[in-house]
Amino acid sequence: MQVIRYARQRVINPVVLLFIFSCFCTGILLVRMIVADQIRYIFLAWNLFLAWVPLLITLFLSERLKTGSQNRYCFGLGLLVWLLFLPNSPYIITDLLHLKGNTHVPIWFDSILVFSFALAGLLCGLFSLYLAHLIIDRLFNEITGWLSIVGCVGLTGFGIYLGRVERWNSWDLFTNPVQLLMDSLQQISNPVAIKMTIGFTCLLLFFYLLFLSLIHLKINASPEKRR
């Protein structure tokens, strides 16, 4: 399986487009800040930055894999850090709850703004999930790859709950690990946590499967010549 060559052909251009799209999101946020003289949605810029972190990690790991490095322990540590930040990517979807009517800015503009950031964050997560899938598939096997991805998506769903409801951050694992671990264990049996985890897990899995189907879609670029 030519994983590295496939990743190079299929990922680089979309990442560039995703960066341009992220700049577009930041641009319309700046326009809103100037026109409305408000910084109400400034947190979207920070959330989008965090959404890029897991993608940058997997891009780095992919480059390492291209050089021939296959140390499973190093890649395992890198993927563990990646998993820690992965919930930040789809987390921006929950920022849609901040949409409210405003006398200074039309609701349709704010809808475009928040949805654009949510979409950019989601795409960052899907790209990084895809790259992680390729890496695990290359280092281990296809079954391990799929089992790992499904498990990561489930943990991501739980991470979104911890971030939105319990207000934990990824870096709290380093600054306050004991309290974070204790709170996480307590929330496992929480009905709201279970529902949100299942809901976001199913949503992200469907998005990822759709993402894979679009990537592997082959369109005949050579139509028959007219006679």
Residues 144-197: tens digit of each pLDDT: 999 999 999 999 999 999 999 999 998 898 899 999 999 999 999 999 999 999
In the predicted structure, residue 222 carries a pLDDT above the cut 50: no
| Mean predicted confidence (pLDDT) in 37-42 | 87
pTM score, whole prediction: 0.86
Q: Is 55:128 a contact under the CB 8 Å cutoff?
A: yes
pLDDT at 131: 96
| Mean predicted confidence (pLDDT) in 81-105 | 89
d(CA 56, CA 38): 31
What are the CA-CA distances from residue 113 to residues 32, 59, 84 (Å)?
9, 27, 27
Percent of the chain with pLDDT over 90: 68
In the predicted structure, residue 130 carries a pLDDT above the cut 70: yes
pLDDT at 14: 85
